[in-house]
Amino acid sequence: MKPAEFGYHRPCEVSEAVALLAGLGDGARVLGGGQSLMPELNARRITPVHLVDITGIGSLRGARRVAGGVRYGAATTHRMVEDGLVPDAGGGLLARAAAGIGHRAVRTRGTLGGSLAYADPAAEWPVVFAALDATVEVCGARGVRSLPARELPRGAFRSGLATDEIVVAVEVRSLPQGRWWGLHKTAGTAGAYASSLAVVLFDTDARGRLEQVALWLGAARETPVRLPATELLLTGRSAAGLDVAAVLPGVAQDLGTVDAAPDDAARHGLRVHAATVCRALARAAPVVSAAAGEGAGAP
């Protein structure tokens, strides 16, 4: 199908975009790379009166190093992260996450800010930026504000953005040398949304036991969730010896599901999440410093 008619606006500045959104009100939607919005428009599941295309705003594209981290413009594409055209504050984590999003032809257009604003519970960036405790900068008619990435998603496909606000940038503190990251996505087919997505960060002691574990899960609830009981369970253990059975009690406690639940689907889902956590741990890699990716624009 084809989209219904809409008024199209392509501002060149953030201030212009925000003024347009404030003036147009509830009938307007923000268009980023369009890789989630366009299928909705084509199927006429949504019929906005106006589209405000923010991909013409040059200042939103690209990334630059800031003290202790990297600032990513909202219109930075998944491909730019995948290909190392921007620095990787996750020491390889961001590039891995980006490479798993959709297909190449989707990653060439889809954007970081769009993914955050769209707040798909199964998307990569909300859970990755939550795990990294990133800060999101948004701009609206009343000015600029910053909030933790963990607080931006408010529900499935619902973000904490006001109708006149757009995501401007995401700032991520660089993971220190010595820290490890792991990401695993379980999905039905290549390019599909995750049925489970685990992101784990940890240190190791001299004997390879896990310390300072941070574990986040996507596609399990309406918004990314932290798994504190599983973090505790993993602490002091060696990643090598962990299987699904070992991790399952922690994940069950964190998700409030019991492995003996009468609902087959709930039990299956729990096991998928536990297996995804195990694979993220098993394939974890040490942080590599991101020397590459300088000079790809400056938001």
Partner 1 sequence: MNEVSPRLRVNGAEHTVTVPARTSLADLLRDRLGLTGTHLGCEEGVCGACTVLVDGLPVRGCLTLAATCDGAEVVTVEGLTGADADRLRAAFSREGALQCGFCTPGMLITAYDLVRRRAAGSPEEIRAGLGGNLCRCTGYQALVRAIASAAGESAGEPGTRGGAEPGTRTGESHPRDRA
What residue ranges bind partner 1 (CB under 8 A)? 1-10, 31, 34-35, 38-39, 41-43, 51, 53, 55-56, 58, 61-62, 77, 79-80, 83-85, 102-106, 108-109, 189-191, 295-297
Token pair recorded at residue 156: 């499935």
Q: Are β-strands 69-73 and 210-218 bridged in parallel, bridged antiparallel, or unpaired?
A: unpaired
Q: How far is the CB of 78 from partner 1 (least distance, A)?
A: 12
Which one, 35 or 174, has the nearer CB to partner 1?
35
Which one, 11 or 153, has the nearer CB to partner 1?
11
H-helix segments, 57-203: 78-82, 93-99, 104-107, 112-118, 124-131
Distance between first and last Cα of the chain = 36
**Residue appearing with tokens 């009166």:** 49
Q: How far is the CB of 192 from partner 1 (least distance, A)?
A: 9
Distance CA 173, CA 240 (A): 28
Token pair recorded at residue 72: 């990513």
Q: How far is the CB of 24 from partner 1 (least distance, A)?
A: 11
H-helix segments, the chain: 14-24, 37-42, 78-82, 93-99, 104-107, 112-118, 124-131, 228-234, 244-255, 264-282
Which one, 37 or 227, has the nearer CB to partner 1?
37
Q: How far is the CB of 53 from partner 1 (least distance, A)?
A: 6
**From edge to edge, which strands make up the β-sheet containing 50-53?**
7-9, 50-53, 28-31
Which one, 1 or 240, has the nearer CB to partner 1?
1
- In the chain, % helix, strand, coil (3-state, to 5) comes to 35, 25, 40
Which one, 228 or 297, has the nearer CB to partner 1?
297
The helix/strand/coil state of 78 is helix
Which one, 220 or 296, has the nearer CB to partner 1?
296
Q: How far is the CB of 154 from partner 1 (least distance, A)?
A: 26
DSSP-assigned letter for residue 242: -
Which one, 73 or 224, has the nearer CB to partner 1?
73
Q: How far is the CB of 100 from partner 1 (least distance, A)?
A: 11
Q: How far is the CB of 2 from partner 1 (least distance, A)?
A: 7
**Residue appearing with tokens 């019991």:** 258
Q: Give the DSSP H/E element, type plus range, for residue 53.
A: strand 50-53
